[in-house]
Every structure is written in C-alpha cells, then in structure tokens.
Structure 1
Amino acid sequence: MKQLLIYDRPRPLNRVAHRSLRLTTGPATYAFSRTVNSVPLVVAEFARAGLDYPIVFAGAAGQEQPAVLLGLHGADNLFVDDGGHWAADAYVPAFIRRYPFVLAEGDGGEDFTVCVDEGYAGLGTEAGEPLFNDDGSDSDVLAHAVRFLSDFQAALRDTLAFTERLRDLDLLETRTLQVQPAQGAATALDGFKVVAADRLAALKGSAVAAMHGNGDLALVHAHVQSLQNVQRLSARLDRRRVATAVN
C-alpha cells in the first residue's frame, strides 16, 4: 500500500547510498498520481488552484485540511492521461510537483529529513540529472528540490493555522455535492466539509474584520467559488468516456 498517497518507498536521502542517483524529468512524468482523486492543498495555492479544481476540507473532525478534488471516483485522477501527461490547461498542485521528494518530520517536530521515493520510475543511475555533484555536495537539481520542500513546509504551517481559525469560528460543515453527468443519473460526492455560507454571514463585524485583515476572507471566497468546478469535473469525465468509447 502506498504511503502519503503517492509515495511507494520513501527513504531518507543518503549521500553515500544515493551518491549515483539521477532524476529524469519531462512532460510525461505524472503517471505516479494517476490513481489519486484528491491531494492536499496549501493556502498559497487557493487562488490559482481554485480556477481548475473544487477546493474542499478533508480529514477527521478537528483535523480537516484543504484538498483539491481531481476526480469523481476513487483511484481516478481525471487530469492525468494514460501516458502520464497532466492536462496542459490545468494547474499542477505543489503536493504533486514536489514528488519524488518529501520531508519527514523528526520526533520533536522541528527537524526534517529529506526523503526520496525509491519506487519512482524516473530515478536511476544511468539517465537524468545527478542529485549529487562529484564532491558529494547537492547538485542544482537537489538544491532546487530542497528549497521547494522548505517553501512547501512553511506554506503548510500557514495552512494549518488557517484551518484552525476556521474551526475556532465553527465555519466548517459537512456537505454533499450533487454531480449530474451528461448521461445517466446524478451521483453524490460526500466525505468532506466546506465553509457554511450561513455561518459566515452570521459572523459579527469584528470577526469579519479580522478575517479580512489576515487574508482568511479572500481564501474562503476562493474556496466557495471553486466549488463550481465540480460540474467541470463531471464534464471532463464525460469527455474521457466518449474518447474511450471511440477508441
């Protein structure tokens, strides 16, 4: 079973064991995410990701975090084709772009270890860009990946704080979204939460002012607006079914 949604065999990156490791990148490198229908999202991505995907809040009560829906059924990402290409017109979430690297949190919660998924098909010792220079130092490719991981971790802390404030204001409610395909009966999407419009409207002036001042209100509006993309997911599924039938 995969760990962390898309990681098969995450291992701490080691300058000795992984000295000869190389990374191959290209337009057809997203096959690893073909079977995930949602991934976590950080607040820095809301404005852009909300143009393409529904943004919801997933997780157990008290632990909800933002996520984008990539498909309408389990193990089906509608934005990755059979060749491993991500849809050219759609934003690629940072959770996906940081792969095959990830940070593992230490016991104290302060120290992090850079890990790499040894199961990623784009890793090898023959082709691609090296992760380490001849002297054992980080290559430009690895240095860029580490900076990206660091930025993602900082954005994740902001995201955790944002969702905690939403919970403190009791703004999240369980919601079921109806999806109407071009043919056949409507289906329901559930198992997540959204910001309740009536609870948001009932907030007093000071609370609204605080949300406006810290940027939370803009994030909430981006989230609410993004829910219109559920029907776009349905349309994308319809197009895939038509293409499959033709082929």
Structure 2
Amino acid sequence: METATVGPVSGNVLFYTKPEPLSREEHGKLGVLRMDKPYGFASIGHVVPLTVAEFGFAGINFPIIFAGEQRVPLCVMGVNAGENLFIKNDGAFATGAYIPAYIRRYPFVLASDESQNRMVVCIERNAPMLGENAEVPLFDDKGEPSEYTQSAIKFCEDFETERRRTEAFVDLLTSLDLFETKQASFQTTLPDGTQSAPVVLADYFGVSEEKLGKLPAEKLAELRDSGALDKIYSHMASLLGWDRLVMIASERAAQTA
C-alpha cells in the first residue's frame, strides 16, 4: 500500500486524536522513539476492539463481549470507563497479558478515502513515541518508507483483513440468531456476612448457550468445520473473567488508597 496525500481524516477512532495521511512531505523527518513502556496511550481504553482471530489468546485474560447494533467484538480490560487495568502508570503492559492487535498497530491506522475508493495509511501525529530525527525513521534517505514503516503498513493491512473476517463471523452468528442480551454484575460481602445489592458492570450481547444447543446438527457441523465454533467457545469461556477483573480493580483501588 502506497503512502498518499489526501484531505484530513475524519471520524472517531479510539486512541487517535490527530490521524494524518502518511506522506514523505509531512512526515519525512519523523521517526519512532524506542520506548520500553509505550502503552500509556491505551490506559483510557477499558474496552478495545478485537478480531475473531484473537479470541483464543484474548479470552485467557479478558471477557470478550459484543456491543452495539453491529455487535462489534470487544475485549474488556477494565470495569470503569477510562481505566485499563492491564496498563500501569508508567506505560508498561501487565506481564504475561495478551496485547490486542488494535493496540499493537498504534500509531498507524488505515482510513477510508471515499473520494478515490481506497484505504489510506495514516499515523497518529500526537503519538508520544513519534519525534523528529528519532532512532527509527519513518522514511529512508531516498524518501521511501523505511523497513519499519513497511512492516507497520503490512500489519495494518493484515488487521484490516482480519477485521473483515470478523464482520463475516458476526454476520454468521446474527443470521443464526445466536445473540442474546447479557449483564455482568458483582456483589460484595458485608461485615455482617450478607451480600450487598448487585452492582451492574455492563450490559452487552453474547452468544446464548441455549440457542447454540438448539441448532440443527448440520448447522453445528458447519460451525465446527469452519472454525467458528471454537471462536464461540472461546468467547463463552472468557465471560468467566468478569470476577477476575473485579479482583484486579479492587486490588488497584486498595493500592491507590
């Protein structure tokens, strides 16, 4: 994918406040600073978009839910809006936790150029790891995308491919009427040993175990053979992670106090 000069990028994309079409004219002197703990930008993301290819990895660490009319898959990384429990104050990611591809592609992103019906490579100009004459240049001495930039563009293209596969996966589940509304909540034990009133964490969409169990055998076989059934099971198993999130949030609150 070539870099291009187009008009300003519009739209609301999580973590991106000033995305600009990547060009040698505007960004020829920019590079990426080497940062051991570069994930501070994602500390505000308590939910992060997820592709279906990541369900098996992410489901070990986070609840995977579906949200909105489009049933967009999200991994839940915090119980409070604007607080990612897996990113420390210094920008480090929790040891051993899976880092979603949506976060790893930053500060690059693809945007749709509707005037020319194509995807354009953009970069977040306000990204903290970008700077002039940095260690890893975006463009080489000939003005061509550096090896690092080429790899980043390839990553974004692969992410876009997986995003479309994810849309097809969601469309399949929708066509089979497998979604139902769900609610995550928790209770605390009071000093007298009784349980507090439930506190609602989230309302979301998830796959219904009952609806899945009532599918005809041939439909289940199709889901199994396509690999979709494994992804469904990863999603369903991941919902056990709500309690873990609450524990992590409680520990962080106690440390802050």
Amino acid at match of 1:197: E
- Provide TM-score, normalisation by structure 1: 0.93
CA 1:64–1:25 in 2, change beyond 3 Å: closer, same or farther?
farther
Quote the residue 2:87 is aligned against: 80
Amino acid at match of 1:124: G
Given candidates 156, 169, 172, the residue that maps to 1:162 is 169
Given candidates 94, 99, 103, the residue that maps to 1:92 is 99
Tell me if the contact between 2:40 and 2:90 (Cα under 8 Å) persists in the aligned partners: yes
Given candidates 199, 220, 226, the residue that maps to 2:238 is 226
Quote the residue 1:12 is aligned against: 21
Q: Write the distance in 2 (CA, Å) between the matches of 1:117 and 1:200.
A: 41
Q: Write the distance in 1 (CA, Å) between the matches of 2:198 and 2:109.
A: 38
Quote the residue 2:58 is aligned against: 49
Given candidates 227, 234, 239, the residue that maps to 1:215 is 227
How far residue 5 of structure 1 moved from its aligned partner, in angstroms, is: 1.1
Q: Secondary structure at the match of 2:24?
A: coil
5+ residue gaps, structure 1: none
Q: Secondary structure at the match of 1:193?
A: strand
Quote the residue 1:22 is aligned against: 31
Larger C-alpha radius of gyration, 1 or 2?
A: 2
Could you give the per-residue CA deviations for residues 100-123 of structure 1, whole angstroms, max 9, x where no partner exists?
100002327962100000011111
Tell me if the contact between 1:23 and 1:128 (Cα under 8 Å) persists in the aligned partners: yes
How far residue 192 of structure 1 moved from its aligned partner, in angstroms, is: 1.5
Quote the residue 1:35 is aligned against: 44
Tell me if the contact between 1:58 and 1:65 (Cα under 8 Å) persists in the aligned partners: yes
Tell me if the contact between 2:46 and 2:78 (Cα under 8 Å) persists in the aligned partners: yes
Q: Write the distance in 1 (CA, Å) between the matches of 2:115 and 2:231.
A: 30
Tell me if the contact between 2:38 and 2:129 (Cα under 8 Å) persists in the aligned partners: yes
Quote the residue 1:177 is aligned against: 184
TM superposition outliers: structure 1 runs of 4+ over 4 Å:
181-185
Could you give the per-residue CA deviations for residues 158-185 of structure 1, whole angstroms, max 9, x where no partner exists?
1000000000001011111122457775
Q: Write the distance in 2 (CA, Å) between the matches of 1:100 and 1:200.
A: 39
Quote the residue 1:239 is aligned against: 251
Tell me if the contact between 2:64 and 2:238 (Cα under 8 Å) persists in the aligned partners: yes
- Provide TM-score, normalisation by structure 2: 0.90
Tell me if the contact between 1:12 and 1:115 (Cα under 8 Å) persists in the aligned partners: yes
Given candidates 200, 221, 226, the residue that maps to 1:188 is 200
Q: Write the distance in 2 (CA, Å) between the matches of 1:109 and 1:216.
A: 34
Q: Write the distance in 2 (CA, Å) between the matches of 1:159 and 1:26.
A: 31
Tell me if the contact between 2:35 and 2:129 (Cα under 8 Å) persists in the aligned partners: no
Q: Write the distance in 2 (CA, Å) between the matches of 1:133 and 1:88.
A: 34
CA 1:66–1:158 in 2, change beyond 3 Å: closer, same or farther?
same
Could you give the per-residue CA deviations for residues 85-133 of structure 1, whole angstroms, max 9, x where no partner exists?
1111200000000001000023279621000000111111033310000
Taking the TM superposition and a 5 Å limit, the aligned residue runs for 1:119-134 are 119-134=126-141
Quote the residue 2:209 is aligned against: 197
Of 171-180 and 147-156, more deviation after overlay is shown by 171-180
Amino acid at match of 1:145: A
Q: Write the distance in 2 (CA, Å) between the matches of 1:171 and 1:108.
A: 37
Tell me if the contact between 1:181 and 1:235 (Cα under 8 Å) persists in the aligned partners: no
How far residue 142 of structure 1 moved from its aligned partner, in angstroms, is: 0.3
Q: Write the distance in 2 (CA, Å) between the matches of 1:150 and 1:182.
A: 48
Q: Write the distance in 1 (CA, Å) between the matches of 2:147 and 2:255.
A: 41
Tell me if the contact between 1:23 and 1:122 (Cα under 8 Å) persists in the aligned partners: yes
Amino acid at match of 1:7: Y
CA 1:45–1:109 in 2, change beyond 3 Å: closer, same or farther?
farther
